[in-house]
Structure 1
Amino acid sequence: MIDLLARRSGTTAAWLVCTGCLLAVFMQMIDVTIVNTALPAMTADLAASEREQLLVVSGYSLAFACTLLTAARLGELLGRRAMFLGSVAAFTGASVWCGLSGSAVELVAARIVQGVAGAGMAAQTIAILTAAFPRERHGRVFAIYGAVAGFAGMLGPMLGGALVSVNPWGLGWHAVFLLNLPLGALAFALALRYLRHGRPVHRVRLDLGGAALSTVSLFGFLYALTDIQQHGWRAGAGVVMLVSLCWAVVFLVQQRGETRHGGQPLLRFDLFTDRGFAVGSVLVTVFFGLFTAFVFAVSITLQDELGFSPLRTGVLMTPFALGAGAGALVSPMLVRWWGVRVLAAGIATYGGCVAVGAGYLRLTAGAVSLPLAVGPVFLAGLGVGVFAVPLQPLMLSRLDRARMDAASGLLPTVEQIGNGLGLAVLSAVFFRAHTLGGSVTMFAAIAVVALGLGALTLALPKPVEEQ
């Protein structure tokens, strides 16, 4: 009886730790997109220049992506608990700083601090969840993790617009950032009380050379993508991207040398000897790029080209969010029944719906009927939920504890590279002219990539339960 109570107490503590981690994931992911719809109000209030507007959005993403690998190693060095608690506190404090900023320069600085702290949270999450739960529950836990991250990304633009429109307590755009105060306080309290993931038993050191090279190469690459997103292909951005890719090659060579000489590289190449992780990394990169491009394209098409208000845009995309939620709920069960074919069918369904939408826009010359769009929009969201939620559990399912710790910083880095690539390619290729014809072509291209993604998904190994 005592053993049973102890197990139940341990299970409760694990789920409370999971709740704290999911709150951190929710804050970190929602702050990637929530600023976009609130940006006009911020710009007007702070008299921000075009460059400052760009840095408010990209400063967070750049700081976040460029410090993930280093943050993961610091978690091993200092202890996951200490790193997570410190990062949650810093993220919450930086969010309050953002909300109280009185100038655009101050807001940009606060957003960069927020991004670094967000990386500190994100880089510990997978390792903490792995340690908190037995292996047989990892699939369920990572499915919930993926669903929360995806939902936060989708909710961001709608929530940002709603907060600015409703103007709670007269806070206006400041509420977009101050929202994190109660969420961060709760995440910190749960982790402080229940998280018991300490320092590793083996000696860990920080690879300073690898940290510098990874930060410089990632920063240059993502900065070039951001510039392409804003201004199209220019010589300066091309040079920065080429130089950053050269630094990335130097980083890989340096990491290979660390591995050969028995060091502790930031990037563990043995992760990619696992077929699930290798194929999954490609799928995650392409999917995050595809989905980020899709969300951005829908907003541009509906509001800039078809004249939808933010509220009407939110109404049209609500069935998508509901469908994604439904897909997230049923996907683990479907994967147990039919394996990776379910993911392929989900992303193919999404691609098919996007293709139908492109054809509909072309036939109607942009005249959109909301009642007629509900079904396909819901079905597209359902396909995304069915694909995205089981993807991370499948790609991580065969990794041992040590490699899972290494994946904790690498997986979010891959996601951020996908985000940057998706927006840059979309903006540079399709949205220079902002025409309905360009939107139709762009949605058709997204549909084709989604169908190709479905074919690649079949290369994933079977779930462990099927073996």
Structure 2
Amino acid sequence: MIPGVIATARAVAGPGAWVAFAGCLLSVFMQMIDVTIVNTALPEITTDLQASSAQQLLIVSGYSLAFACTLLPAARLGARIGRRRMFLLAVVAFTAASVWCGTADSGNELVLARIVQGVAGAGMAAQTIAILTALFPRELHTHVFALYGATSGFAGLLGPILGGALVTADIGGFGWHSIFLMNLPLGMVTFALAWRFLRLEVPPQRAPMDFTGVFLSVATLFALLYALSEIHLRGWRPMPCLIIAVALALGALTLLHERRATRRGTGPLLRLDLFADRGFAVGSVVITGFFGLFTAFVFAISITLQDVLQFSPLRTGIAMTPFALGAGAGALLSPLLVKRWGARVLAGGLVLYAACVLTGVAYINITDGRVNMLLCAVPVFLCGFGAGVFAVPLQPIMLAGLDDSQMAEASGLLPTIEQIGNGVGLALLATAFFRAHTLGGSTVMLSAIAVVALVLATVTLALPDPATPDNSAPAPAPAVN
């Protein structure tokens, strides 16, 4: 445990904890929906702001880059100044940055606002797991982390759908501006709930700040994710490949530094001992793969429906609504299914998802792209159901073997892993298989996604059963960072 962290008894989670939890879920919803909501609104933004291709890329990727690169430092900063204080400051900054995005009148201004928004989003995200660990007793962690994971996944899925609906509806004449301005009321409610009901003790001593680790980790993640975004936009060219090599070298230096900091007891930024737990180690591989898979899937569906099949943004949203409903149903049933059949349920969910994707590929090829949305509703629902069954229990199973101090350290690391998965998914899947916006390109892309899902289902079988986590020893006293 980091020096200066104090223990707090949480025998029972009172009503205030659940209300504070609702505020945390709102923050998760905002930060995750802003990863994908821009995709369907980008054509409108480009036309209105006359954004260049470079600006378009940064409007989409600038948020994710800033978000991913600052998660680990934000987690440590929260440990230093208090999770509640850091969370409240980040909510205010995120809300203000969202308003700035919604009122930007040039491409460069929107890019800068999105970067600030990403930094603030990381400030919220990096505290969430530590806050939930502090608010709730161990026996409730499975349920609260399932809700946390469901909210994150649902928001990422809802982004393109809601973005298309808001742009089409043009409420109050705001057009694309509304996709950012909607965060103003959400941010105000989040802040009010956290201010009133989030009660965490501030550590009496500041946790050490690993400035060398901060520099190395930020440089590594920025180089890696920037190169992947360049590959996504322009393909596999020498320069981004060289940057990836530099990122890998920086990553090796980061790991060496963190191992040295761990041996010296100087407060490493990255707790490498987390990967000694089988659930966390295997889960890290699985969650990276799934976030890459899901990001590529959202991208492929958006391109297939709008560019290939000529769906409007609104019709695209309607077509994907059964997927969202299926994901919600899978999320609700997944805890019961996992309790009955264990981690095998996750593999089954991915197999169902892959089977439905392949069915969809066969259908659009047989009909030559003529889609009957009513006929497709059930397979699309089942596809979402499989994704929901897989995604929601993954984080609780992954974290089940960690003690509370380790889970606090995972608060910044877990979303960082997810963001790496997003970047890798788009670069490898989208670029390697989907250079042409044609029916054939869609067929190759979606088929590749289904194959990757089947491979990932096999890896998922290595996860430990949630009833018998590797760390079977009694957990130490809960910690509040």
TM-score by length of 1: 0.96
Q: 2: distance between equivalents of 1:138 and 1:225?
A: 34
The secondary structure found in structure 1 opposite 2:37 is helix
When structure 1 is superposed on structure 2, of 297-306 and 322-331 the one drifting more is: 297-306
CA contact (8 A) 1:398 1:464 kept: no
CA contact (8 A) 2:430 2:445 kept: no
What are the residue-to-residue correspondences of 1:210-289 with 2, within 5 Å?
A: 210-289=213-292
Alignment partner, residue 188 of structure 2: 185
Kindly tell me the number of residue pairs found equivalent between the two proteins.
462
How far the C-alpha of 1:431 sits from its partner, in A, is: 2.0
User: What code does the residue aligned with 1:457 have?
Assistant: T
What are the residue-to-residue correspondences of 1:62-461 with 2, within 5 Å?
A: 62-200=65-203, 203-461=206-464
CA contact (8 A) 2:283 2:394 kept: yes
User: What code does the residue aligned with 1:53 have?
Assistant: Q
Alignment partner of 2:43 out of 36, 40, 43: 40
How far the C-alpha of 1:302 sits from its partner, in A, is: 1.5
Deviations 1:267-324 (A, max 9, x none): 1111001011001100100000001101110111121112222222222211110000
User: What code does the residue aligned with 2:163 have?
Assistant: G
User: What code does the residue aligned with 1:190 have?
Assistant: L
Q: 2: distance between equivalents of 1:83 and 1:118?
A: 11
Structure 1: gaps of 5 or more residues: 1-6
Structure 2: gaps of 5 or more residues: 1-9, 473-481
Q: 2: distance between equivalents of 1:393 and 1:201?
A: 30
Q: 2: distance between equivalents of 1:277 and 1:465?
A: 14
Q: 1: distance between equivalents of 2:286 and 2:264?
A: 32
User: What code does the residue aligned with 1:347 have?
Assistant: L
CA contact (8 A) 2:274 2:406 kept: yes
Q: 2: distance between equivalents of 1:8 and 1:201?
A: 22
User: What code does the residue aligned with 1:219 have?
Assistant: F
How far the C-alpha of 1:427 sits from its partner, in A, is: 2.6
User: What code does the residue aligned with 2:346 have?
Assistant: L
% identical equivalent positions: 64
Q: 2: distance between equivalents of 1:351 and 1:8?
A: 42
User: What code does the residue aligned with 2:255 have?
Assistant: L
Q: 1: distance between equivalents of 2:419 and 2:464?
A: 24
User: What code does the residue aligned with 2:422 have?
Assistant: N
Q: 1: distance between equivalents of 2:73 and 2:159?
A: 27
Pick the structure with more helix per residue.
1
TM-score by length of 2: 0.93
User: What code does the residue aligned with 1:412 have?
Assistant: P
Q: 1: distance between equivalents of 2:342 and 2:415?
A: 24
Q: 1: distance between equivalents of 2:245 and 2:258?
A: 20
Q: 2: distance between equivalents of 1:76 and 1:301?
A: 44
When structure 1 is superposed on structure 2, of 145-154 and 195-204 the one drifting more is: 195-204
Q: 2: distance between equivalents of 1:167 and 1:203?
A: 48
Q: Alpha carbons of 1:12 and 1:391: their partners in 2 closer, same or farther (altered >3 Å)? A: same
Q: 1: distance between equivalents of 2:398 and 2:430?
A: 30
How far the C-alpha of 1:367 sits from its partner, in A, is: 2.4
